Structure 1
């Protein structure tokens, strides 16, 4: 059989391929979902009682805005680098905001390490913090994984790390808005610790996660 005939026979009955929406549109959809999740968690748990006072603190504002920007820019980066024709330079997009976020946490560590009260953090508040972490990170992680499943055979580890960073930063923003977490120990455990854990899991288990949502794509790439 001639090569041209073979190609024609293989392509004859193939169904049309549905093109993915532009990465900016898909990233916008995910960020809209993140906004809805934050609103729902805020309605369920309420804002932190001292939020108005915290908004007058430049360090708190810088930390919160930087974490929110990190989440948004990392999400955009993840959707762009998931495509093979897009430059890896998109990975640099969230770095400035990430640097401000992490440096602000470090500054708090140096200046407010004795800010925990004599009674420490109560168990009830810790449980509420953990509930916020789970309610925010789990749905966003699952939706991100499904939306990026077509990137499985291309750049699974890179995409998973960017997606995990985005979820971690959005979760840190939720913790800052809904809970009293100005004590440095809690900042490091919840905000920075959450980011490190999610990013590490995304890097280590990226192929297994994408294999679960896109087994055919992974099998074809192997």
Structure 2
């Protein structure tokens, strides 16, 4: 390279450095996950307070399969949120996406156990299927704002694994929403819980996965630096 070319390159670098905007590093993913979980508790708690906890909720929580079902959904939501903020970073392994699996396995196991006990206790009537659009709609309506918040926070990382990131985020929002809905709406056979709760969660995760790039496009990072 000639001396003139070398000088021109140095001048270009100097101009770019002078015009560069300061960029704040992202806060640790665990801290960001805890912040989002705090928002989720606030939103879900407000909705539950507005509807009121159903009278038989504590009685149901005295039964093992209800305890496992609620704990499984809660654990799934918490682990999925942690996974989303980790898997969105390029320096974290893809294996973080598997973090929610223990909670999800517990949740599905408890629902299966509940279906079995309903069959033993009630016979074929335990598998009576009904329509519960209120339950389905409530999970979706609570999940939407939580999903938008987590997407807005995840877009700061410029996710390199959009499918795993958004699937984890949607799973976190919908699983925690299902926990909240079960506190003010119940009296359903376990099969209906599987269909309506599971259906709402699957719908959100599926749509988020299919539309991941469009959804992240709505929250494209600002050009003039990032906030943590």
For Structure 1 versus Structure 2, the TM-score category normalised by the shorter chain is: 0.7 to 0.9
CA RMSD of aligned residues (A): 2.2
Counterpart Cα distance in 1 of 2:26 and 2:56: 44
Aligned counterpart in structure 2 of residue 115 of structure 1, from 119, 122, 126: 126
Which region of structure 1 is more displaced relative to structure 2, 207-216 or 93-102?
207-216
Counterpart Cα distance in 2 of 1:131 and 1:20: 34
Aligned counterpart in structure 1 of residue 78 of structure 2, from 63, 66, 72: 72
Tell me the CA shift for residue 143 of structure 1: 0.5
Counterpart Cα distance in 2 of 1:165 and 1:39: 19
8 Å CA contact retained: 1:75, 1:166: yes
Q: Deviations for 1:56-89, whole angstroms, at most 9, x for unmatched residues?
A: 1010001101100110110011011111111222
Residue 144 (str. 1) matches residue 163 (str. 2):
no
Residue 184 (str. 1) matches residue 184 (str. 2):
no
8 Å CA contact retained: 2:73, 2:179: yes
Q: Deviations for 1:10-58, whole angstroms, at most 9, x for unmatched residues?
A: 2221110122111111111110011111211111111122112111101
Which residue number corresponds to residue 161 of structure 1? 167
Higher relative contact order (CA 8 A, sep 6+): 2
Tell me the CA shift for residue 106 of structure 1: 2.0
Counterpart Cα distance in 2 of 1:92 and 1:199: 15
Tell me the CA shift for residue 201 of structure 1: 1.0
User: For the structure 1 residues 144 and 181, does the alpha-carbon distance in structure 2 shift closer, same or farther, using more than 3 Å as the test?
Assistant: farther
| TM-score between the two structures when normalised by the length of structure 1 | 0.86
Counterpart Cα distance in 1 of 2:74 and 2:86: 19
SS at match of 1:15: coil
8 Å CA contact retained: 1:175, 1:181: no
Q: Which runs of 5+ in 2 are unaligned?
A: 120-124, 224-228
Larger gyration radius, structure 1 or structure 2: 2
SS at match of 1:96: helix
Which residue number corresponds to residue 25 of structure 2? 19
Counterpart Cα distance in 2 of 1:177 and 1:87: 36
User: For the structure 1 residues 115 and 5, does the alpha-carbon distance in structure 2 shift closer, same or farther, using more than 3 Å as the test?
Assistant: same
Aligned counterpart in structure 2 of residue 30 of structure 1, from 36, 39, 42: 36
Q: Which runs of 5+ in 1 are unaligned?
A: 218-222
